[in-house]
Chains A and B, each alone.
Chain A
Amino acid sequence: MSSGGVLAAVRAGRLSSRPSWPVAILGALALGLAVAPLALPDWLTFNLHLALGKSLVVLAVALLLRAGLVSFGHGLFFAAGAYAVAFAARAGINELALQLLLAVVLATVLAALLGLVLARYRGIFFSMLSLGFSMMLYALLLKSYHLTGGTDGLRVRTPTVLGADLDREAFRAVAFYVTLAAVALGFYLAHRFASAPLGYLARAVRDNEVRVEYLGVSVRWTLYWTFVLSGALAGLSGSLTAYLIGHVVPELAYWTTSGEFVFAALLGGFGHVLGPLVGSGAFEFLRTYAFKYFAYTWQLILGLTMLATILFLPDGIWSLGHVARDLVRRWMRSSKRAA
């Protein structure tokens, strides 16, 4: 059987029947997020902005998790996107759109190159190799002091938006909506990807890659394109976050940063495309509150939360929705019977 035939069978089957309600939820979510800065206090908007910006890199990590790959090196693309913004400004490119484009292109090229090697690795070896690459970038950023400012990092200057010079406050508002639009676009892309043959294949690879190969599909290229998309999203995420923080440092490429992305993806759950959005939000708020109230034990709280998630909620916060839906259905059924 050709791979096309198999895919058609998969598409015709239960797997492809997507309920239409997420679209409505998406709309409501986008609207809610769009008016949020008007209604929320500044610090909360900042957290929301940060969570949105980072949700794309969490999504990037989640796409790979769906394929059974744990990247402990996505900080590499995140940092590449962030530093691209800082370097672009230094090279005299001050336009926001151009800077974002540069960041995404750089991250995509990096992913396309590294993916050639990484797509051959699985399990622990994939994690280690991605960690190794990321730490190499960290070392380079740290030691090329004259270029990158070493541990001090680089300041991100406020760019022009479509040629207009904005002050810090106005730019922050613009940046929020740019981030929101980018996140919407990124998640839409990921949704299309996940419901396209390639996306299903990536999931099938996780279940059993040898059988996928018996279908006549190249596992390596499936993972390669997943990786490239993932790297591009991570780069975009890095650049968006750089504008908000206003500063880029080598720690963005450190292995613990990558670990936090994996944590957020796991927290939200990677079974559904929107899981990473929830995960990123939950992670940022958890960290902010843990840091605020337990300044000396916030990592401990993060670790315990992660353990609890793995042990008791293996499909992440998103799966709580299914639990709730089942409860509601059962309740409705029983109330019908009563009536």
Chain B
Amino acid sequence: MIELAIGVLLDGLVFAAVLFLIAVGLTFIYGVLRVINLAHGSLYAIGAYAATSAVGAFVAAGGHPYLTYPLLVLTAALVGVLLGPLIERLFLRPIYAREQVIQLLVTFSLFLILEDAIKLVWGVQSRYADTPYAVLGQVSVAGVSYSVYQFLLLGVALAAGLLLAALIHRTRFGKLIRAVIADREMSTALGIPVGRVYTAAFAIGTGFAALGGAFVAPTLAVSPALAVEAIVLAFAVVVIGGLGSLPGAAVGALIVGLARSTAVHLAPEVELAAIYLIMVAILVVRREGLFGEPELRRI
């Protein structure tokens, strides 16, 4: 019984950590740009693929296995810095003035484009980069063995969340972001470079998605289905927590993660349905999510 409880809890937490890394970027981008990025899962997948390439090349060149961890972070940062501004400038900037609906469709077409772009660059075969995973070995918890890497994932998610919170609440740049979120027009009038804040925010969101992908990559076979599954789960997380809310993303990730691990251990056939059931239930009862703020209707 206790093994089961610990199993559910640990699996749930690890899954929640991964979900949080994906969802936090999605919710952050929505908070600042007010755009739901349907291509966010693809950015996560690109992070994972980039990690397999980077780790593969690094290990082949004889690099020390423990140095792969900073390499994963570096890869994610690179994806964010290179791809984020490019996508924001090219695809999102022309449509900020259009309806939310159109923005959703633009990111959907971006999703379609990136799906194939990923296949073109990395092919359709599964790719592996399990060095960072294998080198840490296993640890036994209450008689069940777990890989140490899973605990590392928890740490990475926690660190990423704290880092982003500190960035928003403790720095000058965070102040600018909060000003833009509060009132875009007034921020422009005060001389805040809103366009650059948007670009930076999108790059940061992209970086977090890629970070999630990079750290997940060692634990699984990276294949083309990664993006399409990640985005709907991240959706569920941010909807449950409340769009645009960082604590919401954390709580949403915990709820979805624990719900899934409970279902996997107790009733595997309802695993997927359970997640969407929670998402729908939250939307029906409290549409702005657990931590979201209700929007006022404008005349």
Contacts and interface: CB of A to CB of B under 8 A. Distances in A.
B116 interface: yes
B108 A306 contact: yes
Given A129-B280, A132-B236, A263-B105, A311 B299 contact: no
B101 interface: yes
A297 B116 contact: yes
Interface in B230-273: 232, 235-236, 239, 243, 269-273
B38 to A, nearest CB: 8
B276 A68 contact: no
Nearest to B299: A210
A310 B220 CA distance: 37
Name A's interface SS. helix
B101 A132 contact: no
Interface string A272-315: 00000000000000000000000011111011101100110010
Interface in B94-136: 94-95, 99-102, 104-106, 108-113, 115-117, 119-120
Contacts of A140: 273
A208 interface: yes
Interface string B53-95: 0000000000000000000000000000000000000010011
Interface in A24-69: 65, 68
A105 interface: no
Given A70-B105, A136-B273, A298-B116, A208 B299 contact: yes
A151 interface: no
Contact of B101 (A123, A139, A302, A306): A123
A278 to B, nearest CB: 18
B279 interface: yes
Contacts, number: 121
A307 B116 contact: no
A124 B270 contact: no
A267 B299 CA distance: 30
Contact of B276 (A65, A125, A132, A303): A132
A139 B112 contact: no
A197 interface: no
Contacts of B108: 259, 262-263, 306
A92 B260 CA distance: 38
Contact of A131 (B120, B232, B272, B298): B232
Interface residues of A, number: 46
A16 to B, nearest CB: 25
A68 B101 contact: yes
Given A131-B235, A135-B276, A303 B110 contact: yes
A211 B105 contact: no
A299 B113 contact: yes
B239 A132 contact: yes
B287 interface: yes
Given A135-B276, A310-B106, A297 B36 contact: no
A142 B272 contact: yes
Interface in A115-142: 117, 121, 123-125, 127-129, 131-133, 135-136, 138-140, 142
Contacts of B239: 128, 132
Interface of B: 36, 38, 91, 94-95, 99-102, 104-106, 108-113, 115-117, 119-120, 228, 232, 235-236, 239, 243, 269-273, 275-277, 279-280, 283-284, 287, 297-299
24 contacts: A68-B99, A68-B101, A70-B101, A70-B104, A124-B243, A128-B235, A131-B232, A135-B232, A138-B272, A139-B272, A143-B273, A208-B299, A210-B298, A259-B38, A262-B105, A262-B108, A266-B105, A299-B113, A300-B113, A300-B117, A303-B111, A303-B116, A304-B113, A306-B105
Interface of A: 65, 68, 70, 72, 117, 121, 123-125, 127-129, 131-133, 135-136, 138-140, 142-144, 208-211, 255-256, 259, 262-263, 266, 296-300, 302-304, 306-307, 310-311, 314
